[in-house]
Amino acid sequence: MAEPDCIFCKIVEGKIPSRKVYEDDDLYAFHDIAPWAPVHFLIVPKRHIASMAHLTPEHESLMGRIMTLAPRLALEQGCGAYPEGGFRVVVNTGKEGGQEVHHLHVHVMGGPRPWLKG
Ligand code: AMP
């Protein structure tokens, strides 16, 4: 299931250390190593999916779970409540989309401004 050269597969397997935010049977969330914002974590499917461009209808429930988990974890990690607080969700996809790690991941960023980027 895991791609041998995929850094996020190695993180999911515990072969590369990470600062865990959340884990269940299908999903793993961890703090970004180079945060842009006071809160910046990534949610990944444990099973390797290269990018958002690889999604098919079979992934609908998995992606739904990620999108409903994001607001819960954002609050738990210190993002302010909507509407004064909030958070940003980003999924870089492909070279022109700015994707550097080719294991699907959802960035969740928030916290008081200014941020480093964005
Ligand atoms: P992207 O450009 O969307 O592919 O972003 C990849 C993200 O993964 C970047 O924000 C990196 O800082 C982050 N990243 C890369 N390696 C690690 C790591 N070992 N632990 C946590 N985050 C990482």
Determine the longest span between alpha carbons in the chain, in angstroms. Answer: 42
CATH number of domain containing 60: 3.30.428.10
Classify residue 5 as exposed, middle or buried by CB count within 10 Å of its CB (0-12, 13-18, 19+): exposed
Residue 94 located in a structural domain: no
Residue 100 located in a structural domain: no
105 labelled catalytic: yes
- pLDDT of 1 > 80? The answer is no
Residue 22 located in a structural domain: yes
Residue 1 located in a structural domain: no
Residue 99 located in a structural domain: no
pLDDT of residue 82: 98
> Which band of pLDDT confidence, cut at 50, 70 and 90, is reported for residue 75?
very high
- Range of 22's domain? 7-86+105-110
CA-to-CA distance for 30 and 17, rounded, in angstroms?
10
Per-residue model confidence as pLDDT tens digits over 77-97: 999 999 999 999 999 999 999
Probe residue for ligand 1, chosen from 5, 10, 41, 42 as the CB with the greatest number of ligand atoms within 8 Å = 42
Residue 28 located in a structural domain: yes
Question: Rounded to whole angstroms, what are the CA distances from 6 to 10, 72, 73, 79, 109?
Answer: 6, 27, 24, 29, 23
Per-residue model confidence as pLDDT tens digits over 11-68: 999 999 999 999 999 999 999 999 999 999 999 999 999 999 999 999 999 999 999 9
Q: What is the pTM of this model?
A: 0.98
The domain total for the chain is: 1
Given the residues 40, 103, 105, 107, select the one marked as catalytic. 105
Residue recorded with tokens 């990534």: 42
Residue 71 located in a structural domain: yes
Residue 118 located in a structural domain: no
